[in-house]
Amino acid sequence: MVRTTSIEAYLARLYVALERQFPDDDELVRRIVAEAEDHLREAAERNRPGSSPDAAERDAIRQFGSPQRVAQRFARELKGRLSPLGLLVRSYLYVGMYVGSVLVAAGAALLIVGVFGALFGAAEVFGLDDPPAVSGTKASCEQWPTYYQPDQPGTNTVIDCEIFAAALAASFSQFSESLFQTWSLLLGGGGIVVGAVIWALHRGLLRWHAGVWDDLSGPARVYVIFGALSFGMAAVSFLQGIPSSGGTSLYWTGAAALVAALFCVAYAREGWRMWVAR
């Protein structure tokens, strides 16, 4: 039975760790492993006087560092310094994916609205069209006396059916508006959720491609600013969907702007920190 030495086991783990960092560059991985093997065998030979072969190999490995640490160091040194053009292109691709995903989420929501509208009648259910013309008869008016209060409060008598029809149309319009706000909530909320997921994925992707987060270069910072802006826009969309009445709408608009601003400041701060750390 062939005995596996400590160095061989270490090199196997190093290969796996490097493969994770450089999945598309097998030549580089093999070169690093070959250099590591040369180094470890040389170090083990030098450690051998006074030590057992196993102990000498273990010492050599300890001095070299863990496979994960070595692989991460390579990633930091080599991937954090991609050519500016390469990282620029890659970052904008990510921006496109990010913004595109939010748009897809918005489009999907609108599609659902359209399908439901086709099935149940857009005007009656979802308020996408103008409310239908209301023409009430005396009898139909009398069925809905509470929609119109005549000049004498306290009575439920319908005096003028035309006035009642106008009141009903206005009521329908309010109802439609309410539904639209509901969809804004869903749309904006969905956009935020999708945006957050995509943001996390992209952050991971960038870390994977460009090494540790602190080593990202300028174009990646452009990406975070774009991410912040689109995330902020989703937040605005969400908050605008919250029903408001009277002067409170101003508060909601202000809150939406505040949320967007906070995101922008947070990401800009991170960008600045990365810039300083370079």
Q: Binding residues for another protein, per CB under 8 A?
A: 31-32, 34-36, 38-39, 41-43, 63-65, 69-70, 73-74, 76-78, 81
Burial (CB count within 10 angstroms: exposed 0-12, middle 13-18, buried 19+), residue 199: buried
**Cα separation, 144 vs 180, whole angstroms:** 25
Instruction: Report, in Å, the least distance between residue 42 CB and another protein.
Output: 5
Cβ proximity to another protein: between 34 and 258 the closer is: 34
Q: What is the DSSP letter of 125?
A: I
Burial 78-115 (b: 16+ CB within 10 A, else e): ebbebeeeebbebbeebbeebbebbeebbeebeeebee
Angle, helices 67-74/6-21, rounded to nearest 10 degrees: 40
What single-letter amino acid sits at 153? P
Instruction: Report, in Å, the least distance between residue 78 CB and another protein.
Output: 6
Cβ proximity to another protein: between 58 and 179 the closer is: 58
Instruction: Report, in Å, the least distance between residue 30 CB and another protein.
Output: 12
Cβ proximity to another protein: between 42 and 54 the closer is: 42
**Cα separation, 35 vs 270, whole angstroms:** 36
Q: CA nearest 177: which of 252, 114, 240? A: 240
Cβ partners under 8 Å of residue 108, min gap 6: none
Instruction: Report, in Å, the least distance between residue 28 CB and another protein.
Output: 8
**Cα separation, 4 vs 19, whole angstroms:** 21
Instruction: Report, in Å, the least distance between residue 70 CB and another protein.
Output: 4
Instruction: Report, in Å, the least distance between residue 69 CB and another protein.
Output: 7
Distances, alpha carbon 124 to alpha carbons 120, 121, 190, 192, in Å: 8, 6, 24, 29
Cβ proximity to another protein: between 73 and 203 the closer is: 73
Instruction: Report, in Å, the least distance between residue 195 CB and another protein.
Output: 35
Cβ proximity to another protein: between 59 and 124 the closer is: 59
Cβ contact 264:225 at 8 Å = yes
Cβ proximity to another protein: between 74 and 94 the closer is: 74
